[in-house]
């Protein structure tokens, strides 16, 4: 373990050791005064010289700017390795930059780990669902299930009321692996325009018009595939029924521009 310091007297591991300005040792709470450095019983006082007193005055300064707290024993911060008085020894009190940097790195690593875990789980579930669709099923039963599913979607989906009923294209949209929401859009628009409309309806950010950002693409599960299939931006929704149809589930994912 890299944290903490062993007491010079009893060798106890202490995460906030006390620094003695006289013998320059580091001690636990029990031995911060009583460690036999010849300073006396109460304060550890004893014979001193002008040179020693001047050196002690220099070492008695708390590292926190503006602190004038009189203290003879200082604690060393395990993160920034500076010495502080007993009042300012905690990282939160002296605004320890090293500790803040460490916590930020931990938060970023946690976010990366969570994001990777979600992506792996998302891909595994979608592939498992795609494989299951390849099993032999009753065509009439499957057609009826799709009709019922579309009817339920029409009851819950939201969209622009100006779109005629005969041109409403219903989709269950999942964002970056999150649970899907139901919307309807015009089936006469392209896939690229559909991505823009879905972002407006769900109030999601969309930077497809900015080459410096990643591209938000639309994917779907093809009944003959075992992976997600990307829909071309230039394709019109009503002209690609072999790839996606009204009532389908689609996924919007950020991808690198190629």
Q: Give the model's pLDDT for residue 189.
A: 93
Q: What strands, in cross-sheet order, belong to the sheet with 248-255?
A: 158-159, 181-186, 168-175, 248-255, 215-221, 228-230
Q: Containing H/E element for 8?
A: none
pLDDT attached to residue 97: 87
Query: Longest C-alpha distance within the chain, in Å?
Result: 102
Provide the pLDDT confidence category of residue 235 given band limits of 50, 70 and 90: very high
Give the C-alpha separation, 127 to 86, whole Å: 58
Start-to-end Cα distance in the chain: 46
Query: What is the number of other CB atoms lying within 10 angstroms of the CB of residue 253?
Result: 18
Percent of the chain with pLDDT over 90: 14
pLDDT category, 13, cuts 50, 70, 90?
A: confident
Distance CA 57, CA 70 (A): 10
pLDDT one-digit tens code per residue, 18-47 = 888 778 788 888 888 887 775 534 444 433
In angstroms, rounded to a whole number, what is the distance separating the alpha carbons of residues 217 and 175? 11
Q: Facing residues of 181 across strands?
A: 173
Model confidence, pTM:
0.45
Share the mean pLDDT of the chain. 77
CA distance 140 to 97: 66
**Whether the predicted pLDDT of 224 surpasses 60:** no
- DSSP helix, strand, coil percent of the chain (3-state; round to 5): 30, 20, 50
Confidence class of residue 125 from pLDDT cuts 50, 70 and 90? Answer: low
């Amino acid at each position: 373990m890299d944290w903490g310091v062993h007491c010079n007297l009893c060798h106890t591991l202490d995460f906030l050791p006390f620094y003695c300005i006289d013998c320059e040792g580091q001690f636990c709470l029990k031995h911060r005064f009583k460690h036999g450095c010849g300073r006396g019983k109460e304060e550890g006082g004893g014979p001193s010289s002008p040179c020693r007193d001047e050196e002690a005055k220099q070492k008695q300064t708390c590292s926190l700017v503006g602190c004038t707290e009189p203290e003879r024993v200082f604690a060393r911060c395990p993160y920034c390795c500076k010495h502080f008085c007993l009042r300012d020894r905690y990282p939160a009190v002296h605004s320890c930059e090293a500790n803040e940097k460490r916590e930020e790195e931990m938060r970023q690593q946690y976010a990366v780990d969570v994001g990777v875990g979600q992506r792996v789980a998302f891909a595994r579930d979608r592939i498992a669902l795609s494989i299951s669709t390849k099993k032999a099923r009753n065509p009439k039963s499957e057609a009826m299930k799709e009709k019922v599913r579309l009817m339920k979607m029409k009851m819950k989906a939201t969209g622009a009321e100006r779109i005629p009923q005969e041109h409403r294209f219903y989709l269950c949209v999942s964002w970056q692996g999150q649970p899907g929401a139901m919307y309807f859009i015009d089936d006469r628009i392209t896939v690229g325009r559909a991505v823009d409309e879905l972002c407006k309806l769900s109030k999601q950010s969309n930077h497809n018009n900015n080459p410096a950002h990643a591209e938000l693409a639309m994917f779907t599960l093809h009944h003959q595939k075992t992976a997600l299939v990307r829909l071309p931006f230039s394709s019109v929704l009503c002209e690609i029924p072999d790839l996606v149809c009204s009532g389908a589930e689609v996924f919007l994912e950020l991808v690198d521009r190629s």
